[in-house]
């Protein structure tokens, strides 16, 4: 249980929270859920949003409630947690390879779809599901330029799809094609250009599969940064964005969006308190390397700090809010500040709870159920 339960519903409860705490602005979050669902629906595609951003049953339920056909999971641990909560349409978007993890997959109560890219792995999956007396739906993972996972050619895709289709306990369902490396190409027109170029791989793989009598029923991929573009390609049957829920500062950069304005709002904040004001040049807050992911740059104080203040890491549990030179405004001991994070997925993974706020109220606390899994 969160130590902030007792602040739920109290006027001004938001300002009294124990910190560092992860906040979710529910109004902005709900608009993000609705806007993405509407955009994808308008394009005639299905939405299977990615749980790697939120790892939370409560969030997945709201995505399903807004029309999503299922939820993507980056790990087996995420899928186990969501499956146990009755979330339908789960897809594990990375290969499940080792004996221990294949055994977990074969013993999961619900039906979960996974991706594969290796013939030996397909054989191991067939054996495990034969032993369990069950069937496993599979997608062929296609490398569309990220050089991370996936088959490297249309011929390899056909060979693997054939092997899956010929396996008694596997069901060939289609392909996954995810361009993670293109999600944040800064300029929208340039991003569209490189996506269209990489889409030729998907087109060639799809054509080869059709020709081999193995047309993909599912073509899944896409992310927050490319969703608008992915939807116009005529290749995907469904999209799997995740970060649109929260909009970290990496995805929030205006240049990323056509016309310079994101259709999504920042809904995720780290709330912290000032714990030292003994230095003229900065105040120190109780949020450091253990409160923010550090791979994509610095957080910034969006609320509660004087304009122009910048954040500086000061160790595992502390950060400095450095005042702008021209500013005379100063923070006081105990003041609360709320920071926008630079990368939402690994930041959410640092916390056990999302503190859902509307205005000055804490209205609910959602568990980040699959944190660390």
Q: What is the total count of residues that contact a second copy (CB under 8 A)?
A: 64
Smallest gap from Cβ 151 to a second copy, in A, equals: 7
Pick between residue 51 and residue 227 the one whose CB is nearest to a second copy. 51
Pick between residue 254 and residue 333 the one whose CB is nearest to a second copy. 333
Pick between residue 45 and residue 106 the one whose CB is nearest to a second copy. 106
How do 282-285 and 310-313 pair as beta strands?
unpaired
Smallest gap from Cβ 373 to a second copy, in A, equals: 8
Pick between residue 18 and residue 41 the one whose CB is nearest to a second copy. 18
How far apart are the C-alpha atoms of 315 and 171, rounded to whole Å?
A: 50
The structure tokens 């047309």 sit at: 215
DSSP secondary structure of 296-325: T---EEEESS-TT-EEEE-SSS-EEEEPPT
Smallest gap from Cβ 160 to a second copy, in A, equals: 11
Q: Scan residues 152-181 and list those touching a second copy (CB under 8 A).
A: 152, 180
Residues 298, 351, 358, 361: which binds a second copy (CB under 8 A)?
Answer: 351
Q: Give the per-residue contact string, 299-328, with a second copy (x = CB under 8 A; - = no).
A: --------------xxxxxx-x--------
Q: Which residues contact 324 (CB under 8 A, 6 or more apart)?
A: 306, 307, 308, 309, 310
Residues 70, 150, 154, 174: which binds a second copy (CB under 8 A)?
Answer: 150
57-65 vs 76-84: helix axis angle to the nearest 10? 70
Which tokens go with 348? 């959410």
**Binding of residue 127 to a second copy (CB under 8 A):** no
Residues 87, 136, 219, 274: which binds a second copy (CB under 8 A)?
Answer: 274
How far apart are the C-alpha atoms of 172 and 133, rounded to whole Å?
A: 17
User: Are 100 and 128 in contact, with CB atoms under 8 Å apart?
Assistant: no
DSSP secondary structure of 85-127: TT--SEEE-S---SHHHHHHHHT-SS-EEEEE--HHHHHHHHH
99-106 vs 119-132: helix axis angle to the nearest 10? 40
Pick between residue 27 and residue 295 the one whose CB is nearest to a second copy. 295
Smallest gap from Cβ 94 to a second copy, in A, equals: 6
Which tokens go with 1? 């249980």
Q: Scan residues 19-48 and list those touching a second copy (CB under 8 A).
A: 19
Q: Give the per-residue contact string, 177-216, with a second copy (x = CB under 8 A; - = no).
A: ---x------------------------------------
User: Are 299 and 317 in contact, with CB atoms under 8 Å apart?
Assistant: no
User: Are 317 and 330 in contact, with CB atoms under 8 Å apart?
Assistant: no
How do 71-73 and 136-142 pair as beta strands?
unpaired
The structure tokens 């910190």 sit at: 19
Residues 31, 104, 162, 358: which binds a second copy (CB under 8 A)?
Answer: 104
Smallest gap from Cβ 372 to a second copy, in A, equals: 5
Q: Which residues bind a second copy (CB under 8 A)?
A: 3, 16-19, 52, 74-75, 77, 94-95, 97-101, 104, 117-118, 120-121, 143, 146-152, 180, 273-279, 281-282, 284, 286, 289-290, 293-295, 313-318, 320, 333-334, 343, 345-346, 349-352, 371-372
């Amino acid at each position: 249980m969160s130590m902030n339960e007792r602040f739920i519903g109290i006027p001004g409860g938001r300002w009294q929270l124990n910190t560092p705490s992860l906040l979710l602005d529910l109004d902005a979050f709900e608009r993000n859920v609705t806007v993405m669902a509407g955009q994808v629906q308008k394009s005639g595609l299905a939405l299977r949003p990615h749980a790697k951003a939120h790892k939370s049953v409560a969030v997945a339920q709201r995505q399903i409630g807004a029309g999503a056909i299922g939820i993507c999971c980056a790990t087996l641990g995420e899928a186990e947690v969501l499956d146990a909560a009755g979330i339908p349409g789960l897809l594990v978007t990375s290969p499940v390879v080792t004996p221990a993890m294949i055994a977990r997959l074969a013993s999961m109560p619900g039906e979960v779809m996974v991706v594969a890219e290796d013939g030996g792995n397909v054989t191991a999956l067939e054996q495990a599901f034969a032993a369990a007396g069950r069937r496993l739906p599979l997608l062929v993972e296609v490398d569309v330029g990220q050089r991370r996972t996936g088959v490297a050619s249309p011929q390899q895709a056909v060979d693997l799809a054939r092997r899956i289709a010929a396996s008694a306990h596997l069901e060939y369902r289609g392909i996954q094609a995810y361009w993670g490396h293109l999600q944040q190409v800064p300029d929208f027109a340039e991003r569209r250009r490189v996506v269209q170029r990489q889409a030729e791989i998907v087109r060639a793989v799809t054509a080869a599969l059709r020709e081999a009598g193995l047309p993909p029923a599912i073509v899944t991929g896409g992310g927050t940064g490319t969703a608008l573009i992915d939807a116009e390609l005529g290749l995907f049957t469904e999209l799997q964005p995740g970060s649109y829920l929260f909009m970290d500062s990496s995805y929030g950069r205006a240049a990323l969006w056509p016309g310079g304005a994101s259709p999504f709002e920042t809904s995720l904040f780290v709330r912290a308190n000032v714990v030292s004001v003994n230095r003229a040049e900065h105040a120190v807050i109780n949020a450091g390397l253990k409160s923010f992911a550090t791979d994509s740059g610095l957080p910034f104080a969006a609320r509660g700090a004087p304009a122009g203040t910048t954040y500086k890491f000061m160790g595992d549990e502390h950060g400095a809010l450095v005042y702008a030179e021209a500013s005379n405004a100063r923070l006081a001991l105990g003041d609360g500040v709320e920071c926008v994070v630079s990368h939402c997925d690994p930041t959410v993974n640092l916390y056990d709870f999302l503190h859902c706020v509307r205005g000055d109220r804490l209205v609910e606390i959602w568990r980040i159920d699959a944190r660390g899994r």
